[in-house]
A and B are shown apart, each in its own frame.
Chain A
Amino acid sequence: MQTLLEVRNLKVYYYLEDGIVKAVDGVNFFIRKGETVGLVGESGSGKSTFGLSLLRLVPTPGKIVGGQILFNGTDLARVEERRIRLLRGKRISMVFQDPMTSLNPLMRIEEHLMETIRIQERLTQKEAERRVKTLLSEVGIPPERGKDYPHQFSGGMRQRVGIALGIALNPDLLIADEFTSALDVIVQFQILSLMKKLRASHNMAMIFISHDISLVSEIADKIALMYAGQIVEFAPAVAFFEEHLHPYSRGLLDSVPNIELSDQTLSYIPGMPPDLINPPSGCRFYPRCPEAEDKCREKDPPLIEVKPEYWVKCFKYERKRR
């Protein structure tokens, strides 16, 4: 299948008074048409910054300092503001984490949708209204509730509105940033199944950003695991959950509680994620890695393709390949 978006060696830094935070530092990534990639990582690993940088919405003092974001042959990291604005919402759109604050409290639900549609497309009032009605019923909101204001909606309902906004213009790529984290588990499940349905009917690719690895396993075709601003493992979901080759992935998956082993002590990865102002030299995971070797301290391991479509950023697999 055709590659939709390719990111090459992307670097996004925040320039603070205390120093430069290297939130995204040399990320390589791609997504194909209609594919869902789960971008997983702990808090502060740079996954949200990565998501925002794809639409060039990184808040100041953040800046894209290097690399390319190739979308249909244009480099979004360099294209002029006017042209990227035309892409936002239309070709690449975004669903935000907190449905409580991502809607304007003084705008009716249907006005939000109307605005989204009419910013990018010239439609008559009638046509736009019809589109709004279809969208609302598509995400499971009774169309007559479009007249309501955000505060009259529950969290789950608001996130449905968020999704309707995301798919309003049939984008090729939807970036969903932790968009179920503010919801309870049952609503999460409903929203997730809604998302699966819409992804198929709209033929969208999705980047699903989350810290919840079991949630991601429900929906993703591929997993990209981020650690300290870098992608350390990038693999098809099934293979990832079977093999998880990177030492960090192992630690992470071992720390997911298992309901069948009732009296297990929960295992965890010792230490803390590194300070992104002064990241450790060499491999970023080296200070916490149980399998670290001397060379890990000195050299940054490359992303190694262990087998087709399966990349790991660890020296352990360098020999095997050759």
Chain B
Amino acid sequence: MIDVKYSLSKHIVSGIRAIFPRRTAEYFALIGLILILSIIVMAIFAPLIAPYNPIKKVGDILERPSNKFILGTDGLGRDILSRIIFGARTAILVTFLAISISLSVGVFLGLLSGYIGGKFDSVFSLIMDAVYSFPGLILAIVLTAMLGPGIVNTAIAIAVIYTPTYFRMVRGLVLSLKESLFVEAARAIGARDRTIVFKYIFPNVISSVPIVLSLNAADAVLTLAALSFLGLGLPAPTPDWGFDLKAGHAYLAAKIWWPSTFPGLMIVILTLGFSLLGEGINELLNPELRR
């Protein structure tokens, strides 16, 4: 009887061990992932979760957090909780769109530029370095001012900032990989350039992307918030954390803290999620950082 109990508890312990991470880095990655996933779930099921319509006046203006409005109402009498939940959609959508654009453009051009070399490479490297040398936020402000507001336009403006990061990373890897013996061997069996780039070089490059991607995503969330804060992001009634933060900011002097605190907190949580995930993966994959 005692034996059975003992082995059972041992099984439970080892079961828990298997689920829970062992190293700090794994905790980082796991917590980051949980934060991101919960915000994604929130974004997807926003209409089901949100208690009110986020762009309608549903109560008095600037009501304190109460049972009716858990996080209070904003300056136009809209429910802050509902706005935050729908705001997750904007944040996730713009971030993912921006990252996908910069990832695909940056990786593709990096592959071509590194592989083709010569004048082609010089021109693209020059363009990318020029973009890279700009302060990111200023460049995004200029671009949104040029392109106008809207989800896609904002995503493009943010994508432009991060494209050079992927470009430079991929190009550097391609430059060393294209000299490697297995690429030469592929050429010796008569493989076309297209086959060499996509079947031999690309798979060896792509493994370095996730870390950069995660850290860029954290940055992109902040950039989006900054753009909206400055009123350059999305058109007015769209629920958007940065915009709400700015709107609530005006009432802080009157000790009305709830309209700005909660959107700000959401920005922090999502950014933290991406950063933790990025750092976690980085530390797990990079043996030089392990001690």
Interface on A for B, CB 8 Å cutoff?
Answer: 55, 57, 59, 85-90, 93-94, 96-98, 101-107, 115-116, 119-120, 162, 165, 168
- CB atoms of B188 and A89 under 8 A apart: yes
- CB atoms of B182 and A90 under 8 A apart: no
Q: Which residues of A contact B182 (CB under 8 A)?
A: 101-105
Interface on B for A, CB 8 Å cutoff?
Answer: 179-182, 184-192, 195, 199-200, 203-204
- CB atoms of B190 and A106 under 8 A apart: no
* Complex Cα spacing A55 to B189, Å: 10
Nearest CB in chain B: distance from A59 CB, A: 8
Given contacts A115-B199, A119-B195, contact A102 B190 (CB under 8 A): no
Contacting B188 at CB < 8 Å: which of A94, A101, A103?
Answer: A94
- CB atoms of B185 and A86 under 8 A apart: no
Contacting A96 at CB < 8 Å: which of B185, B190, B195, B200?
Answer: B185
Q: Which residues of A contact B203 (CB under 8 A)?
A: 104, 106
- CB atoms of B191 and A119 under 8 A apart: yes
- CB atoms of A85 and B185 under 8 A apart: no
* Complex Cα spacing A98 to B182, Å: 10
Given contacts A98-B181, A101-B181, A106-B203, contact A93 B186 (CB under 8 A): no
Contacting B190 at CB < 8 Å: which of A105, A119, A162?
Answer: A119
- CB atoms of A115 and B190 under 8 A apart: no
* Complex Cα spacing A149 to B181, Å: 17
Given contacts A104-B200, A115-B199, A119-B195, contact A88 B190 (CB under 8 A): yes
Nearest CB in chain A: distance from B197 CB, A: 13
Given contacts A104-B200, A104-B204, A106-B203, contact A93 B180 (CB under 8 A): no
Nearest CB in chain A: distance from B229 CB, A: 44
- CB atoms of B188 and A85 under 8 A apart: no
- Contacts A/B (CB < 8 Å), 10 sampled: A89-B189, A94-B185, A94-B188, A102-B182, A102-B184, A104-B199, A104-B200, A104-B203, A105-B182, A115-B186
Q: Which residues of A contact B192 (CB under 8 A)?
A: 85, 119
The closest CB in chain B to the CB of A56 belongs to B187
Given contacts A89-B189, A120-B190, contact A102 B181 (CB under 8 A): yes
The closest CB in chain A to the CB of B182 belongs to A104
Nearest CB in chain A: distance from B117 CB, A: 8
Given contacts A104-B200, A106-B203, contact A57 B184 (CB under 8 A): yes
- CB atoms of B189 and A103 under 8 A apart: no
- CB atoms of A96 and B181 under 8 A apart: yes
Q: Which residues of A contact B181 (CB under 8 A)?
A: 96-98, 101-102
- CB atoms of A105 and B204 under 8 A apart: yes
Contacting A116 at CB < 8 Å: which of B180, B189, B200, B204?
Answer: B189
Given contacts A115-B199, A119-B195, contact A103 B185 (CB under 8 A): yes
- CB atoms of A88 and B187 under 8 A apart: yes
- CB atoms of B180 and A101 under 8 A apart: yes
The closest CB in chain B to the CB of A89 belongs to B189
* Complex Cα spacing A279 to B110, Å: 41
Given contacts A85-B190, A102-B184, A120-B189, 10 further A-B contacts (CB under 8 A): A85-B192, A88-B189, A93-B189, A96-B184, A102-B185, A103-B185, A104-B186, A104-B203, A115-B191, A115-B199
* Complex Cα spacing A107 to B196, Å: 13
- CB atoms of B204 and A106 under 8 A apart: yes
The closest CB in chain A to the CB of B177 belongs to A104
